[in-house]
Structure 1
Amino acid sequence: MQNEPLAFRMRPRNIDEIAGQKEIIGEKTALYRMIKNGHVPSMLLYGEPGIGKTSLAHAIAGTSNLPFIALNATVSGKKDIEGVVAESRITGKVLLFLDEIHRFNKLQQDTLLPHVESGAIVLIGATTENPYHDVNPAIRSRCGEIRQMTRLEPEDLLAVLKRAMSEEERGLGKISIEISEEQLVRIAEGVNGDARKALTVLESVVAASDELDGRLVVEDWLIDNLLGRIGLFGDKKGSHFYNLLSALQKSVRGSDVNAALYYLANLLEIGDLVAVTRRLLVMSYEDIGLANPEIGPHVLAATDAAMRLGMPEARIPLANAVIEMCLASKSNSAYKAFDAAVRAINEGKIGDIPPHLRDTHYAGAADLGHVGYKYPHDTPIGSFGGWVNQSYLPDKVQGAEFYKPILAGDEKKLAGIYEKLKEFRRVK
């Protein structure tokens, strides 16, 4: 057993050994009570790598004493599923843990679903992707529990590390190790909620430590060195990546500079510069908009510079853009107005284009009644430029008002002009 990685050896043997996840499997949850009482529902477990999806499945198997089979949907075929079905016919019920379940293909699904539905197979599916986006509806409908697991808190990870240090059979309890509480806390705080990484760092630190007077002495610099080599930010294009993009936009919209920079840093560490620059450019028009029309060109310049520079220099113009957007006046009135116009069209609020607005660049246009257009530039109005009181909307849509100004930043001036022109139109 000692040849197996520490993280593998220290997997919880039952649900009472699960670290964290109290809202999902704590003693006061319905799921805990069901499993303790011998009923294990099919379920989907969703969350980032290293937060305990596989461990929870093993712990449920250990508590329920059901025959346990683990498969990975990326490499399993129809024969593997048929083997699980055959096992269920012998034992009466099997607990199947299917990792990467979002990769499940239709053939596997068709083979497995009737047996999940009948209760012969209890399915625990694990995925790093949002199950409502990436798991087939047929699978979701047969899972009584869909649970999003979260990163572990440092205190939960500290308990995991201490258990590994004390257990002799599975952990490091037979080895004489000099490691302080503060050093264990440093590991727990430095792995971003990932229990697997915490145990891996602990095992690596112990393996790299020198022996002194019969004890392995753990030094701070070893912990710092190993923590610095661990990626904490997730993968491109996974659910966590899109959650980071969402958090960045919502932080900018909420004018929180520090939160926005934090999420920008996460995204740039992942490395998908194209997706980040695209989202920033969209935000400049979606969330800043008419309140500060200069932001759009500023962000375009920053994103263009970032793409030319590449990382790590790209972080400099992008940080400028994010801070400027956070502290700028904000308005979503323009795209809201456009969406309102689209909604009106889809609701059937349509009509013919007024004759005086139709194309006249051909002989015979006048014969068709395409006449009466008044050229606004011929009628100056103060410092505004040209304006003339004539109808532009179809008759059936007259009076529709899609644009609702927001009195923020530069849009205050635009709102004033908009209201004044409405007054002019009312004067016949």
Structure 2
Amino acid sequence: MEPLASRMRPKNFDEVYGQDHLLSKHGVLTKMIEKKKYLSFILYGPPGTGKTTIAKLFSDKSMLDTYFFNASTDNKAKLKDILDMTAYHDVLIIVDEIHRMKTDIQDYLLPFLESGKAIMIGLTTLNPYQSINMAIRSRCHLYEIKALSDKDIEAAILNAIQYLDHDIHLTDDALAAIIRASNSEIRSALNLLESASLVVDDGQKITSNIIRKLAGKPQLSLDDHENHYFEMLSALQKSIRGSDVDASIHYLARLLTLGDLEIIFRRLIVIAYEDIGLANPTMGQKVLAAIQAAKMTGLPEARIPLSVIVVDMALSPKSNTAYSALDKAMEDFQNGLAGPIPKHIDNKYIKQHPDSYKYPHNDPGSLNSQTHLPDNLLDKTYYVPKDESAYEKALKDRLKLIDSIKGYKRKG
């Protein structure tokens, strides 16, 4: 017998919950269908929010010849077979897990997207700005599929009751329990509702006790690629950055419950250098030591060194001055703000004019007045130190001395 979740799969855009920004009367996907103007786009958002459903509905309404391609398992030969059909008519390709698409497959697909002979709908749980190659991303419109609210889940449950095989009554407490256990996924909520309907007789009530027994442990996603996992990692970083030690421990607990240590390790290393940086430069070494201890002990003991280092990081002074300086320099270069390397530090020129380069180690304090930025950038300031920690205050004092010798007038 067809499961309830399958029977409840939307047949029209207005039956999809929580995505009115795309599917309402004035939504962009609705307008594409109305005007028969089909653009390639990527749908990204948490699992269970309707990405695949929306793609299939779009396919049905567009009447385009549609093919499905899984970037994790399908190969270039299959894509070539699909794209060969563009010799006869335009095609729609629904690409699941588009963030896993290999470079050679992307390169083969790009000309077809550019010509419009192939329309693509990409599906991913990841943030496309971080996970999808820019070549593909720049040729697609990016549409976020929003996490479902409790009201969305409630509406779906109440609508589904009439499709059950026998008459049941759902108490308010039971409704709330299903919503809590659903992990914001309509499919999970409907599966739990259907299970509950099997353990009560016709006309009986489904209570919260029944739901709790059926639900067991609250649903926790173990997929480290899902969007809400990255949201928790981000929450951990923001808590440490904000020096909120209790919140930092809270999000560490949630992440450890999901069980993937490697992704926690990587994020802690990033935090050590992005948010603590020069305010406490030994933190990077301490984080690596804690990670090594966690790897040697494994779970559940790994939580012990990780708890110590997270508390230390949360309470540490913070500075982002180093990487902020680099980001500003990279932005200038990418915007064309650069210049020739000064001759006195250009090896080719130095070979012809050895006296042009002043070797700092020959000068008192290993300092001299020679500058090294391109001439058109001599008034630029990238690094602006803080003096909120003893270490960076010492760097600031040293920088003042250096600037005075070189004649720099530092901004900020």
CA distance in 1, matches of 2:367, 2:60: 73
Do structure 1's residue 158 and structure 2's residue 154 form an aligned pair?
yes
Q: 2:95 aligns with which of 75, 98, 101?
A: 98
TM-score of the two chains, using structure 1 as the length reference? 0.70
TM-score of the two chains, using structure 2 as the length reference? 0.73
Matches within 5 A, 1:267-346: 267-292=255-280, 295=283, 299-333=287-321
Q: Which runs of 5+ in 2 are unaligned?
A: 347-357, 407-412
CA distance in 1, matches of 2:317, 2:196: 50
Q: Which runs of 5+ in 1 are unaligned?
A: 354-368, 375-388
- The letter for the 1-side match of 2:123 is A
Deviation at 1:235, TM superposition (A): 1.9
Paired residues of 2:47 and 2:226 also in contact (CA < 8 A): no
- Three-state SS of the structure 2 residue aligned to 1:395 is coil
- The letter for the 1-side match of 2:365 is Q
Deviation at 1:249, TM superposition (A): 2.3
Deviation at 1:188, TM superposition (A): 2.0
Paired residues of 2:8 and 2:160 also in contact (CA < 8 A): yes
Q: What corresponds to 1:32 in structure 2?
A: 30
Q: 1:418 aligns with which of 361, 384, 398?
A: 398
Do structure 1's residue 251 and structure 2's residue 226 form an aligned pair?
no
- The letter for the 2-side match of 1:405 is P
Deviation at 1:19, TM superposition (A): 0.2
Do structure 1's residue 128 and structure 2's residue 121 form an aligned pair?
no
CA distance in 2, matches of 1:276, 1:103: 21
CA distance in 2, matches of 1:83, 1:282: 41
Q: What corresponds to 1:203 in structure 2?
A: 194
Q: 2:220 aligns with which of 232, 256, 264?
A: 232
Deviation at 1:16, TM superposition (A): 0.8
Paired residues of 1:292 and 1:411 also in contact (CA < 8 A): yes
- Cα distance, 1:81–1:403 mapped onto 2, change above 3 Å: closer
- The letter for the 1-side match of 2:152 is D
CA distance in 2, matches of 1:351, 1:155: 68
Paired residues of 2:33 and 2:58 also in contact (CA < 8 A): yes
Matches within 5 A, 1:23-102: 23-64=21-62, 69-76=67-74, 78=77, 82=81, 89=88, 95-102=92-99
Q: What corresponds to 2:181 in structure 1?
A: 190
Paired residues of 1:291 and 1:408 also in contact (CA < 8 A): yes
Q: What corresponds to 2:145 in structure 1?
A: 149
Q: 2:386 aligns with which of 381, 384, 406?
A: 406
Deviation at 1:103, TM superposition (A): 4.4
Deviation at 1:325, TM superposition (A): 2.2
Q: What corresponds to 1:179 in structure 2?
A: 170
Deviation at 1:49, TM superposition (A): 2.1
CA-atom RMSD, angstroms?
4.5
Point out the more displaced range, 417-426 or 284-293.
417-426
Matches within 5 A, 1:260-271: 260-271=248-259
Q: What corresponds to 2:350 in structure 1?
A: none
Equivalences, count = 384
Q: 2:367 aligns with which of 384, 392, 407?
A: 392
Paired residues of 1:81 and 1:108 also in contact (CA < 8 A): no
CA distance in 2, matches of 1:62, 1:26: 17
- Three-state SS of the structure 1 residue aligned to 2:388 is coil
Paired residues of 2:173 and 2:207 also in contact (CA < 8 A): no
- Cα distance, 1:17–1:132 mapped onto 2, change above 3 Å: same
